[in-house]
Amino acid sequence: MATEKNFRPQTFDDYQGQEKAKKILKIAIKAAEIKGTCLDHVLLAAESGVGKTTVARIIANESGQNFKEYSGPSIKTVADITDILQQVDENDCILIDEIHSLKKPVQEVLFLAMENFTLNVNIDGEIICQQLPHFTIIGATTELSGLELPMRNRFQLQINLVPYTDDNMTDIVKNVFKAMKVEVNEECARLIAGCTRGVPRNANSYCRRVYDVALVTNNGIVNEEVVYDTFDLMDINEYGLNGTDMRYLQLLYDNRKSTGLDTIALALGTDKKSVETVIEPFLFKSGVATKGPRGRKITQKGVEVIESLTIL
């Protein structure tokens, strides 16, 4: 059985979707190889779960660079980023996930190091300019606005990863099952893909859950009934909406007028930030709800979703 790590593509040829981004990065990697230099610094911008870390690992693989990974929120001080930079080896490829979370003083130290491959360190009260090995920083972010302009400008390659199409997600689902050495037909792959919200991470997770149910209830055979049973257990419907999403939509459906964020958070038993950052993004993206100056409203598409499921 393949592990989750094995599900991740290791090369751009194995990676589904993002054709324009792949072409740009392939050219940049080849150009760096011809010039005999490190790859330019790369900024990957996309919503959560789209595959920024996977792309970063592929960049390191295809450019032959040693891959190191850090979480932005864990780099809290100038001392933290200084320690990381002092451990850099020649030709390292360093991913900083959620790079927008770095505080301004930390960003300043980093972008100066990215520009000149130097680091100013305090030794016994004296500022010494330390030469660093050449390296590539890959910044991954969901919030470009959190990066200072000088920081953004240090990234010569700025890549926006676009949302995946249904066909992309179907291919990803097929590849996950292939890595698991499990047969799946086109219809089952499309059913699963339709519930992933266009997020490869969800595809990995859902395929594992489907196979678990198949193992226990159907001798390891994945068919449509197994897929439906799995998503029923997970409280996810055919539109990719979970129970919380449906309670949100039902509230708007019942009100049929603009509903305030406070009211929604109270009804769902959660906080306003969770509503805005966890629940609403997919609902707005999928067009079942909308936000206006007076609050949230259900759309005609949302009404159709509620009524179709009520009929069923």
Q: Which amino acid is at 191?
A: L
Q: Is the pLDDT of residue 59 over 70?
A: yes
pLDDT of residue 127: 80
User: Using one digit for the tens of pLDDT, what is the confidence trace for 151-173?
Assistant: 999 999 999 998 888 999 999 99
Q: What is the DSSP string of 161-173?
A: PPPPPHHHHHHHH
192: which residues sit within 8 A by CB, 6+ positions away? 173, 203, 206, 207, 210, 227
Average pLDDT over residues 177-204: 93
The DSSP bridge partners found for residue 291 are 296
User: Using one digit for the tens of pLDDT, what is the confidence trace for 206-236?
Assistant: 999 999 999 999 999 999 999 999 999 999 9
User: Using one digit for the tens of pLDDT, what is the confidence trace for 250-272?
Assistant: 999 999 889 999 999 999 999 99
Q: Is the pLDDT of residue 301 over 90?
A: yes
Q: Which amino acid is at 221?
A: I
- Cα separation of 193 and 247, whole Å? 23
- Cα separation of 169 and 257, whole Å? 35
CA 214 and chain centroid, separation: 28
Q: Which residues are the active-site residues? A: 52-53, 97, 142, 201
Q: Is the pLDDT of residue 280 over 80?
A: yes
Q: Is the pLDDT of residue 5 over 90?
A: no
Q: Which amino acid is at 133?
A: P
pLDDT of residue 3: 45
Domains and CATH numbers, the chain: 18-160 (3.40.50.300), 166-220 (no CATH), 243-310 (1.10.10.10)
User: Using one digit for the tens of pLDDT, what is the confidence trace for 60-115?
Assistant: 999 999 999 999 999 999 999 999 999 999 999 999 999 999 999 999 999 999 99
